[in-house]
Amino acid sequence: MPSSAAVDNPWFRRFNPSDSAPARVVIFPHAGGSASYYLDHANALAPHADVLTVQYPGRQNRYAEPTIDSVPELAEQAYRELREWSDRPLTLFGHSMGAAVAFEVARCFARDGLAGPERLFVSAGRAPSLPRDSEIHRLSDDGMLREIVRLGGTDERILTIPALRELILPALRADYTAIETYRAAPDAVVPQPIIGLVGESDGNATVDQVAQWERHTTGGFDLRVFPGGHFYVADQVEAVVRLVADHLGGETPVRPLSTVRPLD
């Protein structure tokens, strides 16, 4: 199993490696996102787990590689590479599009009869069988960029700096094509517990839409609501990391949905 500080595999960034940590957390970014967006989360989790942050092709150090515009294909390729890193208990954390990719990775493990992750954290992503009524991937370049700036999590300078636009547009369009054309079957399930996370004012993935992940697991479900919108995860690093760390190495405390309340 890999143990060196550097990760030769381009699919993963290992910002703060820990060869002695008892668990491993794998972070799957949002559409248009890159591994470095989750640097603060990875560093904060380092005392609790060895963290791999997924780097999809077509961005940053993988800029020259062809993009992938299918959630199942992204998941299949990530899964093939992740199997080498399953020597420690795995926890998957996916934000927005990353929630769908993480879910499909878990399904790949189950399909092949492998133990797979111990749990999934699905953040700011509507349940995978729900319809998606947006078609951002069909907009013009300007329209697509304006839309992602509106959602938050993207610097407004991207609208006016040609070099930045050129760098991110191919990956951005591929990612939005992937998530907006993705839909799992209503009976698609994983055996792992799922913990849903959502910003209370998120209009892209509402509390109700995230709550419906309960239908896609046979292992129990919990829902946590945070202050903020679609990119609450950037403002709530400490709270998100605390929640993930509390679940590592032990049983997932699953509460009925009636007890869900916003975190302080």
Catalytic site positions: 96, 230
Can you say how many angstroms the Cα of residue 259 is from the centroid of all Cα atoms in its chain?
25
Name which of 31, 48, 187, 139 is nearest 94 in CA terms: 31
Cβ-contact 102, 127 below 8 angstroms: no
Query: How many C-beta atoms lie closer than 10 Å to residue 61's C-beta?
Result: 12
φ, ψ of residue 124 to 5 degrees: the values are 55, 35
**C-alpha to C-alpha distance for 14 and 39, rounded to whole angstroms:** 9
Look up residue 1 and give its amino acid: M
- For 240, the token pair is 């998100």
Tokens 């949002």 -> residue: 30
Count of CA atoms in the C-beta half-sphere (13 A) of 160: 3
Contact 53, 42 (CB under 8 A): yes
Q: Is 32 left (phi over 0), alpha (psi -120 to 50) or beta?
A: left
